[in-house]
Amino acid sequence: MRKLFFCFAKKAIIISFTIIFLVACDPSDGNTTKTTDQSTTQLPSDPQDALVSIGLDVEDAKCLIKNHPSDVQYVLENPDRIFKNLPKLADDMFVGSSDRGAAPFASFVSILPTWDKDQIRQFKKIFGRIVFVVNTQKFESAFNNNINLLNADYEGKLPYPENYEVFRDQANKAMLASNNHYKFYMGGGTDTTGLAYSMPAYPPRMPDLYVAIEPQILELVKGYEHNAASLILHELTHTWGYEHAGNAENTTLKANNIPYYVQFIIGTNAENPAAKVEPYTPKALLEVYFGHTLD
């Protein structure tokens, strides 16, 4: 059986046990951007529908159109965007312990029989945010500007990309090879550590791309609301073939490898993904676009 990856949440911050839905969309991302947006943006006739069709929920779509129209335009007009062939997560992707793909996870985490509706809704909302953020110009710039942080010693089987374009194309290629079909599992058990797991898309390819998360990573903790989304992106990069190979001490929570690199760009600090994790991450791209929920 192919190797599993253990992916630790950014910090041991999973302390709340109430699921609170993400509702915020931060309008405070600077008037400068807004001014520029208004003078240059030509959105599609129905940008809200267009955003929803690529996975955003209605509320997030409205907030993005209002506060970040030029970014919306940039994402929607890119025919090569990541997830271009995976427009929206289908309900049949959320599976339980009876699914054939659950077995490989079983030695690491106890897979729950099924997802509940709130968990699915929450996950879809988070996923939609990931779809948007990784296709923004800000992400692309952050990815390229900090690329020297990556250390090829830890790349494993798939070489680290030299730039965003290579990363983007690899992501779409890997998803296409598995028919753009994910299977998401909910893990449980007594050890509530806030972890997520995934299996890489190496030949011989499996028919689907597999990700398992523990339910508590969906929970929001004040100051760390973007923890789940950034960790889930980390997992997705594993399904695209990227690893943090070698000694875990050298790679866990380090920006020297692709999974943590992109996790920190969107969840910690886009200007410096190696920066220390802080609460209320003002320079994290998820914070820029979606703000905070629990203020």
Quick note: the x/- pattern for Zn ion over 5-34, rule CB under 5 A, is x-x---------------------------
Of the two residues 74 and 108, which places its CB atom closer to Zn ion in the complex?
108
Are the C-beta atoms of 289 and 266 separated by less than 8 Å? no
259 binds Zn ion per the rule CB under 5 A = yes
Residues in the chain: 295
Of the two residues 105 and 289, which places its CB atom closer to Zn ion in the complex?
105
The alpha carbon of residue 48 and the mean position of all alpha carbons in its chain are separated, in whole angstroms, by 21
Q: Where are the extended beta strands (E) located within 160-260? A: 182-188, 195-198, 209-213
Backbone angles phi, psi at 187, to 5 degrees: -95, 155
187 binds Zn ion per the rule CB under 5 A = no
Which range in 44-52, 146-154, 173-181, 251-259 contacts Zn ion by CB under 5 A?
251-259
User: Residue 168 — left, alpha, or beta (φ > 0 → left; ψ -120 to 50 → alpha)?
Assistant: alpha
Of the two residues 243 and 287, which places its CB atom closer to Zn ion in the complex?
243
210 binds Zn ion per the rule CB under 5 A = no
Residue nearest to Zn ion (CB): 7
Which range in 55-63, 207-215, 217-225, 259-267 contacts Zn ion by CB under 5 A?
259-267
Of the two residues 72 and 199, which places its CB atom closer to Zn ion in the complex?
199
Token pair recorded at residue 130 = 């990931």
How many other CB atoms sit within 10 Å of the CB of residue 76? 18
CB of 27 vs Zn ion, minimal distance in Å: 33
CB of 197 vs Zn ion, minimal distance in Å: 8
- Please tell me the chain's helix, strand, coil percentages from 3-state DSSP, rounded to the nearest 5: 45, 10, 50
Of the two residues 93 and 199, which places its CB atom closer to Zn ion in the complex?
199
Are the C-beta atoms of 19 and 123 separated by less than 8 Å? no
Which residue do the tokens 């991302």 mark? 29
Binding site for Zn ion (CB under 5 A): 5, 7, 259
